[in-house]
A and B are shown apart, each in its own frame.
Chain A
Amino acid sequence: MPAQRQRTFLPLMSFGVTAVVVFVLVAWSARRSWLALGEPAIVTGYTLFALMLLLGLFNIRKRLSMVPIVRASVWLAFHVAAGVLAIAMFWLHAGSVWPSGLYEQILTLLFYLVSVTGIIGYVLSRTLPRRLAQIEIEIIFERIPAELAEIREKVESLALACTQETGSDTVAQHHIGTLAWFFARPRFWVSHVAGGDAAGHWLRGPGSAARRYLNDAEKTYFDQIIELGVLKCQVDRHFACQELLKKWLLVHVPLSMAVILVAVWHLILVNVYAL
């Protein structure tokens, strides 16, 4: 097994096994409590609440990147295992997939949304990095706008140079009419996320449509522009995948905060009214 894969697989397996053991222990304890005419929801509820807080710690851990509190990949493995355990614990606690009270229904809905976004995020984090690794270049997400600007400047320089040297504005006109749209900002976002090659098709089609009307000198400049277009496609792919990897947290994290707060109120009510 490759070292990198081993680094993520082993913690995930360890936490997974631990999660199963914890679940079995809590379920056994809850059943014992139920058989003894106790309140099994106490043990499952407090375990679930503790899990929610532990899951929330992952976000705090990411903020404390300067502090060496175990590798982030280990934290991710823990977050995934604890998240799955929390879903199972939630069903064990609620006793059904959909409770009857309005407040509990809201809590359940939020919990499910957090769970679903979490699962989606995990799937993205397992698939998109592989796609990024297949791209020939590496680029930091925050630098992409500057890189695009530089490519754009270079393309414009080539178009100007071509006009000056050949006396023909065909390339410049084509750039203004067609290529400028492509180089202005990242394009074909959905296609890049989905793993498609719509950008390449566009570049080979409409993007290169003017080539047949160029002479040899112009073609030299034009081919350099198209090469930059291919490079821009790779940057766009980086942008699309990295943005998705970051933007799903815009849903997951706020919902997590909402779930924890709603659960805290639930906990207060239970202690005041029922226990």
Chain B
Amino acid sequence: MITDQDRFRQDKSPYERPNFRYRCGRVSLWGKPCGQGPNDAGGCGGTSECSPYFDDGRWACRRSPQSGGSCENGPLPDGQCCNQHPPCKPTLTLRGYRARLTMLAAVLVVALIGAFAFNGDGARAVSSLSPGALTSGHAQFTGEKGCATCHAPHGGDAAAWVSAAWSPNALTQSCQTCHKFDGSATAAHNETFKKSADQRQTQCVMCHAEHKGANANITEMADQQCNACHAVKFAGFSNGHPDFSKNYPSRRRTAIAFNHVTHFDKYFAYKQFADRKPKERCVSCHDASNALRNVPVRPFEESCAGCHEKQISKRDLVVFTLPEFEEDPFDAVAVGEACGPSAEMLEAAGEDADKLQEILEAWSGGKSAPDAAAKRLQALQLNLGRVEGEPKKAEDGEEYLSVSEETLPLIAVMLLGLEDGEDIDAYGEPVRDLVMAMIEEGAEPLAANVEGQPDAKMLFAGLSSDILRRAGCAWAANQENEPSASDAGGWFADELSLRYRPLRHADPVVKAWVQLAAAGGAGEGLRDELFSRAKGPGACVKCHSVNAPKGQTAPLRIAWKFGAQSSQRHLRYSHAPHLGLLGLGNSCETCHKVDQTAAYDAAFKHFDALDFASNFKSIDQKTCTTCHAEQQVRQNCTLCHQYHNGPGFKRRMTTAAREPQK
């Protein structure tokens, strides 16, 4: 008893064992426990207070001192204890309850994991495998294969899991099922940098962590993370960022050779052009409504045509010129059969003018014979010596006199596969064959000579056989061709040459010929002729810059479209917010300051795009840090730099493409 000062004495105090799982049922009912206590299985330890022992022919009491010691009555004759009490129902101790609850929790967790571990793949499936919702974009493309779309071990057996646990994940390969780049997906910036031989391999998940929720921003990067690889480490754009390069941002030549200085200060100063001067300065030609990285120039028809359209149609493309011959290379009979009525018909007609007229009309299909055709017929007749008239031959009646004193143009030289166009002995036969082929087969033999060249189909597009036949027959008869009307542009033949006059800006035929010259297969002579800024057909390269690949001379690339030919693939800039903030007006000149002294035009006289003097002064970094600095407008790396090189998609993202194939 607690009031007993001596209560912990050995014979009074039971030895408590709180780590036992069970306690006497009487204790749980707030009574005194019996001396026996429960057994290990949780059953009652006994209904007697002691277990008497047999000693020297008598049963002796063995009740413990804590229970009062030996009783007065002693054991019964059969050796049983005389103090019997009803059995109790032992209960768990707190430790026992704790052990059971702990076991229950463990079993419950294992059971729940087992039940829901592989519970489907759907976005709404309750599965212990799902660590969170995918971003809405990615969630659209996992419907068919579920988790296995990205996670290769998913759905595998235990061996696959063990293998996956001890090997690097293949998530980057999975990403490339849909995503693609202009370089290796595992190379930093998808580039191979010459200066960094030990460039580290990258994985998509280094920067893009999924399963952060449908609206999570998985492209966000901190500025400090860029310093992980970059040798030059700095705190921020306004604090340590390397200076902009010289001539920034115009490291490369512009696509269009437009000299802002001469146009504004010189040409528009002329009285005759004063009314065409851009009234809103920059945005008169640059379309600010579509401003992104570049502010695109409005179409040629809106910006340039007012002054330059007529120049285009003045520059003909001369494909063939009848050259001078020392002797008549043509077979009169063959020409006559190809170009005119048959020899039998003419012989039958004799010198009867009416008969000849009938023949002429029959030859021309019943239509009234045009003058040119009549002259051609007359020439044929003269050739055959059947009709009296103007002699084709020289006055002395013996010597051949060529109607042309020209040489072959370079295009014809290329078509005929000749060395040059001035060797009369060399070109006689090929020219004859070409002219005869033109008469008999139209443009096909011409096109056959350029087969395999880039854009070959466009080189003679629209060239009619009639033009070739008429001109060919005249030239084969050593006569000047009667020029057809050519004001509208297109193919035509004048007295001695076959020409093409550009119909408009971006004429596809002239473009194809200039492109052919740029490809390098036509030789430097022809290239220089077509690229002549003063005489080139269509005046294309007067404005469109021609660029050689870095370290090479061919093939040249013609910048047909406006747009910066920038190699800064990782630069990201948009004019739109800047124009929106600064306003239109003269805001462009806040950053783009005209350089009056730059040798702009000289930079377009060669093919090196990097040897360039911009019309504008280099933009200084301070121009940007005026606003983009700490405590001002944001200046994080990804604001201006794009990590990936040419990111795109391999798969089509249409609804049909996403649906599982049946």
Contacts and interface: CB of A to CB of B under 8 A. Distances in A.
A and B pair up: yes
Interface of A: 34-39, 63, 99-104, 137, 139-143, 145-152, 154, 184-186, 231, 235, 246-247, 249-250, 253-255, 257-258, 261-262, 265, 268-269, 271-275
B175 to A, nearest CB: 13
Interface stretch (B177-185, B205-213, B255-263, B620-628): B205-213
A269 B128 CA distance: 9
B94 A247 contact: yes
Given A100-B211, A275-B168, A254 B104 contact: yes
Contact of A255 (B105, B206, B227, B229): B105
B101 A253 contact: yes
B102 A147 contact: no
A269 B206 contact: no
A48 B30 CA distance: 44
B432 interface: no
A70 B88 CA distance: 40
Contact of A103 (B101, B106, B129, B153): B129
Contact of B130 (A103, A152, A235): A103
A271 B162 CA distance: 9
Interface in B149-182: 151, 153-154, 161, 164-165, 168-169, 171
Interface string B92-118: 001001100110111011100100010
B148 to A, nearest CB: 11
A21 to B, nearest CB: 24
A275 B128 CA distance: 17
> Ordered nearest first, which 4 A-B pairs have the shortest CB separation?
A101-B132, A100-B132, A254-B105, A101-B131
- For the residues of A in contact with B, the DSSP-based class is helix
A249 to B, nearest CB: 6
Nearest to A251: B101
Contacts of B168: 275
Contacts of B151: 273
A265 B228 contact: no
B3 A257 contact: no
B86 to A, nearest CB: 16
B128 A103 contact: yes
Which size class do B's interface residues fall under?
35 or more
Contact of B106 (A34, A246, A261, A265): A261
B2 A137 contact: yes
A261 B153 CA distance: 22
Contacts of A63: 19
A186 to B, nearest CB: 8
Given A37-B206, A103-B131, A104-B132, A275 B98 contact: no
Nearest to B113: A265
B1 interface: yes
Contacts of A101: 130-133, 211
Contacts of B98: 249-250, 253-254
A141 B18 contact: yes
A262 B165 contact: no
A34 B206 CA distance: 9
B202 interface: yes
Contacts of A255: 105
Contacts of A142: 16, 18, 23, 27
Given A146-B27, A146-B32, A269 B16 contact: no
A129 B133 CA distance: 48
Contact of B94 (A139, A154, A250, A258): A250
Nearest to A255: B105
Contacts of A254: 98, 101-102, 104-105
Nearest to A271: B165
Contacts of B128: 103, 265, 269
B164 A272 contact: yes
A146 B33 contact: yes
B192 interface: no
Contacts of A271: 164-165
Contact of A269 (B30, B129, B133, B224): B129
Contact of B30 (A102, A103, A104, A148): A148
B109 A261 contact: yes
A117 to B, nearest CB: 13
Contact of B131 (A152, A250, A269): A269
A35 B224 contact: yes
Given A100-B211, A101-B211, A250-B101, A274 B206 contact: no
B1 A102 contact: no
A152 B106 CA distance: 42
A64 to B, nearest CB: 11
A258 B3 contact: no
Contact of A37 (B16, B104, B228): B228
A265 B114 CA distance: 10
Contacts of B23: 142
Nearest to B125: A102
Contact of B133 (A100, A137, A257, A268): A100
B126 interface: yes
B57 interface: no
A89 to B, nearest CB: 19
